[in-house]
Amino acid sequence: MAIKLGIGIITYNRKEILRQCVEHIRAFTQHSFELVVADDGSQDGTPALLERLNVPYITGDNRGIAWNRNRALWWLKEEKKCDVILVFEDDCRPCEFGWERPWIKAVEAYGHMNHMPEITLEIDNDVSSGSGTAEDPYIAPMHQAFCVGYHARALDYVGYLDVRFEKYGEEHVEHTHRFLRAGYGGLPQFRTPERGQVFFLRGGLEALPSETHGTPDCVSRNIIVHRQIQGDPFYRAPWRSDEQLFLFREEMEAARNRPQSITQPKDNGFDVIISLGGDEKTNFFIKRIFGRADSSFFDGFVTPFHSLIHLFETDFQGLFSTACLYGYWDALRCRDSLLVYHNCLDIPEGEHTSVELFHSQLGRLKQEYADHLAKLDVLCDGTHRVLFVRDWHDALHYEGTHRPSHALTPDFRRLVAALEARYPSLEFRVLFTNFGSASVADSRMIFANLSVPDVCDDERKVDAWGRMVSQLGIYRRGDEAWDDEEVA
């Protein structure tokens, strides 16, 4: 059975850091997941931000870290039935694509896991053994809550954080001690769990400097509470009284009944959408889904991935080169670049594509595409937010033919670097469609696959494009259902 992953973020009055955390989780997580934010009564517009980002959230009065973390844990375990639950503090975020894979493996193996940031290793290294991997986790007598992993099975025995801890301090420490006593997440000392050796993972995440909301007085009080409850039974509910139970239930019901936003995430809105090939079909689908295509530059020729990079890196100098041209079905192909010129020639009735015809129209082609390129450069001058779209489909034009070794593997990073070099002030992302399991840990890249075969009728593909765009939350600015003035 597939593992169901749940990711929670706990936050309080740090909406900008929270926004970045959400972005990074969405950009760098490969496994499908449920996401929820537990907001501890923020007064800085956090709920409005989450609604714009289309992120489920639970909120209520400011009741402290223990209560707030329980909001996320309960939602993901009881409401969404997740097997592996990872809870972030808002000042920690993924920075490597596929970061969650070792976490899933570790939580499956040990029931409970903590993250050890690089700064801890540099400043306060008390690691007794291990290499920080899922197979060989660090072992150390310390407690960090930047990102914590819980297995639903372990939570069944250990329960939730003790809400007798108010505000800030000791709540995660005591919870971890209970996991150790129950045999999860470390090497326990059963009579004195505070001396237990805790398991940690490193890598894949980054912790940011941030301002704490805790006070020394609050921490001192919670240390006393910890000593008093140290011998209590393992399991704790998220409440201590009937009144707290009803309050907690009201928060869950409010989250469950909150209408899901029909708007798309603001950060996935674009002013301009530009096809980068491989053929004219990409623009056909862009027009059908978004109403128009903003540039037809790449519609006139089939552009292999390596040639696309070369064009941007060389200011398009190789475009319409007359070297090594030969007939290729009803088009012309350049043996060096593998560019296929198929839609750019004016072919008189009764004639066929030929090298001679290409030469006769070369002046027109160069002028026409110089104008196209100038328009493309204006669209990318930095005044618009641009989505480039590149489809795998050009590979279908080379089935059964020899392709140079450098043309076989798409270099996604190099293409993005070439775009950035040509348009240094441009805010952009690149949507790569139908490249299978390909992925790169770069938030400027989006990878998605259509749910239909590569060879099928256009209407099926239009429907598949619509579903893909909807799932990714991509839209053209100006088409959104809410008014910017309402969210300012």
Delimit the domains of the chain by residue range.
5-257, 266-487
Asked if residue 113 lies in contact with residue 199, where contact means CB atoms within 8 angstroms, the answer is: yes
pLDDT in the model for residue 367:
92
Neighbours of 17 (CB within 10 A): 19
Q: What is the pTM of this model?
A: 0.56
Q: Model confidence over 82-94: pLDDT tens digits?
A: 999 999 999 999 9
pLDDT confidence of 252, banded at 50, 70, 90? very high
Q: If you search the block for the tokens 């223990």, which residue do you land on?
A: 66
Residue 277, sorted as left (phi over 0), alpha (psi -120 to 50) or beta, turns out to be left
pLDDT in the model for residue 195:
55
For residues 237 and 161, give the distance between their C-alpha atoms in angstroms, rounded to a whole number. 8
Q: Model confidence over 359-390: pLDDT tens digits?
A: 888 899 899 999 999 999 999 999 999 999 99
pLDDT in the model for residue 304:
87
Q: If you search the block for the tokens 């990878």, which residue do you land on?
A: 447
Q: Closest Cα partner for 444 from 93, 23, 157?
A: 23
Neighbours of 405 (CB within 10 A): 6
Residue type, 443: S
pLDDT confidence of 190, banded at 50, 70, 90? low
Is residue 268 pLDDT above 60, yes or no?
A: yes
The topology (CATH level 3) of 5-257 is Spore Coat Polysaccharide Biosynthesis Protein SpsA; Chain A (3.90.550)
Work out the average pLDDT over 107-119: 87
- What is the 3-class SS of the chain, one letter each residue? CCCCEEEEEEECCCHHHHHHHHHHHHHHCCCCEEEEEEECCCCCCHHHHHHHCCCCEEECCCCCHHHHHHHHHHHHHHHCCCCEEEEEECCEEECCCCCHHHHHHHHHHHCEEEECCHHHHHHCCCCCECCCCCCCCEEECCCCCCEEEEEHHHHHHHECCCCCCCCCCCHHHHHHHHHHHCCCCEECCCCCHHHCEEEEECCCEEECCCCCCCCHHHHHHHHHHHHHHCCCCCCECCCCCHHHHHHHHHHHHHHHHCCCCCCCCHHHEECEEEECCCCCHHHHHHHHHHCCCCCCHHHHEECCHHHHHHHHHCCCCCCCCCCCEEEECCEEEECCCCCEECCCCCCCCCCCCCHHHHHHCHHHHHHHHHHHHHHHHHHCCCCCEEEEEEEHHHHHHHCCCCCCHHHCCCCHHHHHHHHHHHCCCCEEEEEEECCCCCCCCCCCEEEECCCCCCCCCHHHHHHHHHHHHHHHCCEECCCCCCCHHHHC
Work out the average pLDDT over 17-22: 91
For residues 280 and 475, give the distance between their C-alpha atoms in angstroms, rounded to a whole number. 21
pLDDT in the model for residue 396:
54
Q: If you search the block for the tokens 């088009």, which residue do you land on?
A: 331
pLDDT in the model for residue 427:
92
Work out the average pLDDT over 15-34: 88
* CA 146 vs CA 117, 199, 299, 385: distances in Å: 8, 14, 48, 33
Calculate what percentage of the chain has a pLDDT beyond 90. 40
pLDDT in the model for residue 253:
93
Work out the average pLDDT over 39-66: 91
Q: Model confidence over 416-431: pLDDT tens digits?
A: 999 999 999 999 999 9
Work out the average pLDDT over 293-304: 88
pLDDT in the model for residue 401:
52
pLDDT confidence of 477, banded at 50, 70, 90? confident
Query: Higher-confidence residue: 261 or 297?
Result: 297
Q: How far is CA 239 from the centre of its chain?
A: 34
Most confident of 93-102, 274-283, 385-394, 410-419: 410-419
